[in-house]
Amino acid sequence: RNPVNLADYRAPAYQVEHVALDFELAPEATIVKARLQLRRNAPGPLKLDGRKLELLSVSLNGEPLGDNRYTLDEDSLTIQDVPDQAVLETSVRINPAANSELSGLYTSGSGLFTQCEPEGFRKVTFFPDRPDVMARYRVRMRADAAKFPILLSNGNKLSSGVENGIAHAEWEDPHPKPSYLFALVAADLVSLKDEFTTRSGRKVDLGIWVERGDEARCAHAMGALKRSMKWDEDIFGLEYDLDIFNIAAVSDFNAGAMENKGLNIFNTAYVLADANSATDMDFQNVERVIAHEYFHNWTGDRVTCRDWFQLSLKEGLTVFRDQEYMSDQFSAAVKRIADVRLLRATQFRDDAGPLAHPVRPASYLEINNFYTTTIYEKGAEVVRMYRTIIGREAFRRGMEAYIAKNDNAAATVEDFWAAMQSITDIDLKQFMLWYEQAGTPEITFDESWDDAAQTFTLTLRQRTAPTPGQPEKQPLLIPVAIGLLNQTGEEIHAETLLLRETEQSFTFKLPQKPGAVSLFRHFSAPVKLKGQSRARLAFLAAHDSDLFNRWDALQQYASAVLLDSVATHQIGQPFTLDEGLKDAIAATLRDATRDPAFAAEALILPMESLLADDMTVVDPDAIHLVREAARKALGQALSAEFHAVYEQFANAAPDDVSGPAMGARALRNAALSYLTAAEGPAFAAAQFTAAGNMTEKLAALTNLVDEPGPARESALHAFYTEWEHNRLVLDKWFSVQARSNASDTLTRVQALASHAAMDLRNPNRVRALIGAFTANPWKFHDKSGAGYKLLADFVLRLDETNPQIAARFVTALGLWRRFDTKRQGLMKAELERILAREQLSRNTYELASKALA
Ligand code: DPP
Ligand code: ZN
């Protein structure tokens, strides 16, 4: 098992100028003929990637090649002595029905779909399957018209029709693209159609292709697509560049969606949504993912990556773009809060464990293991920091320079950096470290006031802990957005500082001694800020004009007092509610009308996993008991206030998915959680019965499943009976049980694992059960070790069919060093059991071995 290293990058020996593909499609035996126009680019033989392909014929410049002219192994076809200009033709047979990895060409339901990123195209045909080989494609397809009436590929459609029961179609993509952006769909689908006229007047036909009966649930996705197209023109001046934009939805899909040029392929979970079956969160996810994939048309497709080490070049940038889009659609502060919550809960954890890696890794065994929150979300933070450092206007010009310079090319993160550096005088050299150094910097600070000079001095220190392979870290260039508040909480100064040194002081001349400094406003850098006193946090939670920091101060305050309670619990003392926390929650409730969505976020106590991150030895039981005790005590102490909020915000129309309506429901559901903790399941049961949409229904069910008994059973039964035939809703039925705090969660999850509706081939269903279960720290870390065993069993079963999904779950065992010795032993034993399996996939091997190292 040899790693791939960034340092070993070599340009491809041949470029492919044009590809003609011919598909005779059938689920069990598809014939793919490829005609490649080759042009020499660098010294070396012609090496084509190919996996699980049955080679039928190969010819060079029209001459069939005997098997003495090439070497064929499991992964490649190599031909020596190829002229500098040549036409290579191959013909292969593949079996999409047997493709359970869901990469390459595979069957889902009765249709055929592709997923080629990152290395799926090599399972379709022999090809230099690397992103720096960009070609123009022409695709012909033929298939049984009764089963596959719809034949789609990238670009514009040249022709289609039916002859003698055989459907045929021909597509051409005028833009050169890497093979990972190739797409093909052959299925019996129907479409919701619409159109969009770009700002220069190009009329674009839009189509969202889904199974019959699902058309009615595509309206939100279509709206999101048109909003995204307009937004990218308005904000970045980027316009769509083909006459057709299609989206096809598929039920079995490893990821969320895929940005194939002109033909995005989506997990149904990110397309289908109506108020009856989808929660507000689902609606927002559809909006976000539609935007994300659409934005890739420029940041990913027109400008692509030179190699997979540069993955964040397209993903970090495109996540940043979808974050900005979403914050323009809804509340910017609430969006920032949600993004930072995710970053801390997943990326900060990864960064602190054995799987930590830089935004641009230097080496990998299996690239599929690097579609991580570090590449995506930390990558987005890196892009955001450029903007914070050089300013919005300069950033926009930097983006223009980046696109103009790298259009139709395969770029590196240095190219992005160079574009930004080209339009600013600020020295960005040091900024490259953000791509190269893993780990989350920790920031501490000191402050002093000189009364005579009327100056305030802020000293900031940065330190990044060692990560695997990187024992020594250098100081980073960190933008620190600050606000200085006076004694009554009014802002007297705001500025963005650039921290470059390990320790650096900044002095301000001020009319008066500040009351408090608000640091890292709007989370201006992905760092951990340490050492804020509780008094300071309480003050900022009450006064900061930066809404993000106001929320964050309350979170940090709550974390501190809950962790105190964990310590008291561990020495056998009873729980007492902190008065400051009670006051802050009461103030949030009093203020709720001003911004209900913000209030809903502020009411949520820090997640168990986040509290765990701040403990030297994680005690999942104590964390859970304390957090629940706090929820209950707050619900009791502020009963009248929670009731009032619950009543006051009951008026949003069930099918209204505007920001204010979603905010009202979020706030109400936050109150419901406290009311249930304090007063039992009556409210949740009533809400379950009265619910007018899925948001209300699922929130009620989430509260009901925590308590074993008839209320839970009848609600689960009713939900199952109503939604048995809707896969996406049935996923919710699985995950709500896997997330439950009830005493019998483990046995229920075990039973659900062999439920008739459990489907190992369907990644959404597996994630709904196992992904949700690992997000339930109290149950997953049950001290019996049963949770670990259940997970490892799944990893081993899935590894045989879908290694990409299997490997993902290994990360849940990666943090074993953080636990007590008993749990450590149990977690390690499961990792060792996984590694002991013969024929383990490269995916799972890489993560399990790194987790143990
Ligand atoms: N490239 C995809 C994305 O949009 C992942 N499969 O993130
Ligand atoms: Zn993406």
Distance (angstroms) between ligand 2 centre and the Cα of 287 equals 14
Residues 712-724, mean pLDDT to the nearest whole number: 98
Is residue 307 lining ligand 1, measured as CB closer than 6 Å? Answer: no
Q: Does pLDDT of 665 surpass 90?
A: yes
Q: What is the pLDDT of residues 684-704, one digit of tens each?
A: 999 999 999 999 999 999 999
Residue of 292, 315, 367, 377 with the most ligand 1 atoms within 8 Å of its CB, for mutation: 315
What is 308-358 written as a DSSP string?
GGGHHHHHHHHHHHHHHHHHHHS-HHHHHHHHHHHIIIIIHHHHTSTT---
Is residue 259 lining ligand 1, measured as CB closer than 6 Å? Answer: yes
Q: Does pLDDT of 1 surpass 90?
A: no
Q: What is the pLDDT of residues 321-362, one digit of tens each?
A: 999 999 999 899 999 999 999 999 999 999 999 999 999 999
Helix orientation angle between 803-810 and 842-852, rounded to the nearest 10 degrees: 10
H helix or E strand, kind and range, residue 627: helix 620-637
Q: Which residues of 696-710 are buried (b: 16+ CB within 10 A; e: fewer)?
A: bbbbbbbbbbbbeee
d(CA 415, CA 411): 6
Among the bound ligands, the one closest to the CA of 308 = 1
For domain 1-188, the question of CATH label 2.60.40.1730 is answered with yes
366: annotated active-site residue: no
The torsion angles phi and psi of 166, rounded to 5 degrees, stand at -110, 125
Q: What is the pLDDT of residues 370-381, one digit of tens each?
A: 999 999 999 999
d(CA 340, CA 380): 11
Is residue 119 lining ligand 1, measured as CB closer than 6 Å? Answer: no
Q: Does pLDDT of 159 surpass 90?
A: yes
What is 32-84 written as a DSSP string?
EEEEEEEEE-SSS-EEEE-SS-EEEEEEETTEEPPTTSEEE-SSEEEESS--S
Distance (angstroms) between ligand 2 centre and the Cα of 377 equals 11
Q: What is the pLDDT of residues 407-444, one digit of tens each?
A: 999 999 999 999 999 999 999 999 999 999 999 999 99
Q: Measuring from atom 4 of ligand 1, which residue has the nearest CA?
A: 258
Tokens encoding 763: 């990644």
Residues 728-733, mean pLDDT to the nearest whole number: 98
Side-chain-side CA neighbours of residue 836 (13 Å): 8
Q: What's the CATH number of domain 530-704, 1.25.50.10, 3.10.20.440, 2.40.320.10, 1.25.40.10?
A: 1.25.50.10
Residues 360-389, mean pLDDT to the nearest whole number: 98
Q: Measuring from atom 5 of ligand 1, which residue has the nearest CA?
A: 258
Of ligand 1's listed atoms, the one at least distance from the Cα of 254 is 6
Distance (angstroms) between ligand 1 centre and the Cα of 366 equals 16
- Rounded to the nearest 10°, the torsion over CA 28, 765, 208, 137 is -50
Residue of 103, 181, 228, 258 with the most ligand 1 atoms within 8 Å of its CB, for mutation: 258
Q: What is the pLDDT of residues 85-116, one digit of tens each?
A: 999 999 999 999 999 999 999 999 999 999 99
CA-based end-to-end distance of the chain: 16
Residues 242-258, mean pLDDT to the nearest whole number: 98
Question: How much of the chain, in percent, has pLDDT values that exceed 70?
Answer: 100
Q: What is the pLDDT of residues 136-155, one digit of tens each?
A: 999 999 999 999 999 999 99
ipTM: 0.98
Residues of the chain with CATH 2.60.40.1730: 1-188
Predicted pLDDT of residue 451 = 96
